Every structure is written in structure tokens, then in C-alpha cells.
Amino acid sequence: MVNTLTLVGRIVYDPELKTLESGKAVTTITLALQRSFKNAETGNYDTDFIRCTLWDGIAENTVQYCQKGSVVGVRGRLTQRTFTYEDEKSFSYPEVVAEKVSFIQHKRPV
């Protein structure tokens, strides 16, 4: 079985690099993916927002060269995350763990 997908979209927020206690670098980006067809009810293009986790060198390069609005391609695997609130209510959401990020249109900070 294969769990690989490719997404191309715009980064929604400026990526921020975090370093874990183990020394690994990580950042999380959210991609806005505009659908290629209009919503029949509103006449507008709908947009999907997909969360992606980037590790080590991929995370460092993305933080250095990309910012909000940059267009990137992400190749990775889909996973399901579960989050539990303090009141023990939990929810799950899909997330992409990036294996490669391609900078299609990036904006360098001035």
C-alpha cells in the first residue's frame, strides 16, 4: 500500500522554527488550496486548509526562504492526529508529514 500525496498551495502564516529537546528542528505550516471549480451555491472558489509538519533541514529551509503567501509544493504522507482537551474531549484531524518541499514562488524577507 502507498501513502503518498502531493499538494501545491499558499502558506497561510509565516512559518516559525521550533527546536525540540532532542535537538530536532520542526515547523508546522498550513497550506491554502483553492479548488479548481466554483461552488454552485455561492459562485466562489472554495478553499481547503491543510496542516503540514516539516522536520529538520526541510523545516529550516522553509523558514529561511518562505513566508505567508509563498507558493510551495509538499510531498509527504497523510496521518491522523488526535488531540485531547483538559476536559478529556478529544478530536482528530488529518495532517501531512512532509518528505519534500519545493519552493515554487517564495518571497525573501526584505
| 3-33 confidence digits (pLDDT tens) | 999 999 999 999 999 999 999 999 999 999 9
**pLDDT at res. 13:** 95
**pLDDT at res. 109:** 55
| 86-108 confidence digits (pLDDT tens) | 777 888 889 999 999 999 986 65
What's the pTM value of the predicted model, to 2 decimals? 0.83
C-alpha cell at 6: 502531493
Q: Please work out, in degrees rounded to the nearest 5, the angle formed at the alpha carbon of residue 106 by the alpha carbons of 103 and 110.
A: 145
Ramachandran sector of residue 56 (left: φ over 0; alpha: ψ -120 to 50; beta: rest): left
Given a cut of 90, whether residue 72 has pLDDT beyond it is yes
| 30-70 confidence digits (pLDDT tens) | 999 998 888 888 888 999 999 999 999 999 999 999 999 99
Of 35, 31, 97, 16, nearest to 70 (Cα)?
31
**Domains of the chain: residue spans and CATH:** 5-105 (2.40.50.140)
